[in-house]
Structure 1
């Protein structure tokens, strides 16, 4: 195993899990994830960080995918600890292995930054959602301030290599709206105590309206 493969298998999952479970980030998860209802799908479920925020009484079924085997192991362990059935599969958002109109709700937290083809992923989310279904999103991405964006653009090439393909410059709510979702932004802002180049976040609800 080369150094890059060793890093991706052993270091990167722990780095991402640690970064995505800091106090301020968890507060924002708590504002988004408990809204999940019905048949729920989580895109990028690896690590299982969101399991503690789901309300089992409101959820009929739970499924998810993640491309990383190590992170997926963490998600399965979190599901066992919570004591609920979970259909968790290895896969990518560009080809979600579930049927059309299968879910009422998609939960997507800190995942759109690292997918290969955001437009295809959003098309897949529309496909698996029932009409009126919702994407609950919490993502970091392109900052509104020119100075911060400049640093994001300079840092991003190295950042992607260290953080599992994570991009710093992707738009969030605007990209969902451009993919045909009706977006309700619940909040946005820089994360306290985080570097501003990595700290801009937006969270809200993106609804799939009838075709």
Structure 2
């Protein structure tokens, strides 16, 4: 059973962190690229729902293991034309048949899944051949000094931030899982501590 911290305090902390201006600007670069039947991994509080283009998206299925976050996602603002379903589940064991989706959106999620390689294998399974994996993630910085501090801080960071890791490679892990990365951009998020600010975003094809 989730602790009081996980049920009452962590969602508020995540809301503050995940709705910062730099992070919302990054979301807005990726989410509108989705089309067709869309799966959102780790839909969380539903922060991306208002960013989907309802003229291009047939439906959005969001999956998340946390009941408190799923409730927030159900109530999150979105275009009224957008068909949205929010279901219980994990990225490592998606409750969907093979080749179900045209696009998968994954924003600031791979940092906290238990097994990134398994989650990405599941993403490939439920994507149609040629489907797009749209990602925007923070992870291991390329600068040695920053990476050193990421490794030092990560043990306590994970406990406070709901299992979020600072040192997971992003694009390399996606490519190693069999995706073909079509475009990739990187930078440090402005107004964000560097240990949490290295950001990689782009499009990969199943």
Normalising by structure 1, report the TM-score. 0.94
Deviation per CA, 1:95-143: give whole Å up to 9, x if none.
0001100000000000000000111101100000000001100000000
* 1:186 CA drift (Å): 3.6
In structure 1, runs of 5+ residues without a counterpart are none
Confirm or deny that 1:159 pairs with 2:157.
yes
* Count of residue pairs the alignment pairs up: 205
Find the residue that maps to 1:72 and give its secondary structure: helix
* 1:82 CA drift (Å): 3.5
* 1:90 CA drift (Å): 1.2
- Provide the alpha-carbon RMSD of the alignment: 1.3
Aligned to 1:33: 31
Aligned to 1:58: 56
Normalising by structure 2, report the TM-score. 0.96
* 1:15 CA drift (Å): 0.9
Deviation per CA, 1:123-165: give whole Å up to 9, x if none.
1000000000011000000000000000000000000000010
Find the residue that maps to 1:166 and give its secondary structure: coil
Distance 1:34 1:113 in 2: 22
Contact 1:185 1:202 in 2 (8 A): no
Q: Higher helix fraction: Structure 1 or Structure 2? A: 1
Aligned to 2:176: 178
Q: 1:82 aligns with which of 79, 82, 85?
A: 79
Provide runs of 4+ in structure 1 moved above 2 Å.
81-85
Confirm or deny that 1:135 pairs with 2:133.
yes
Q: 1:110 aligns with which of 108, 111, 130?
A: 108
Distance 2:184 2:76 in 1: 27
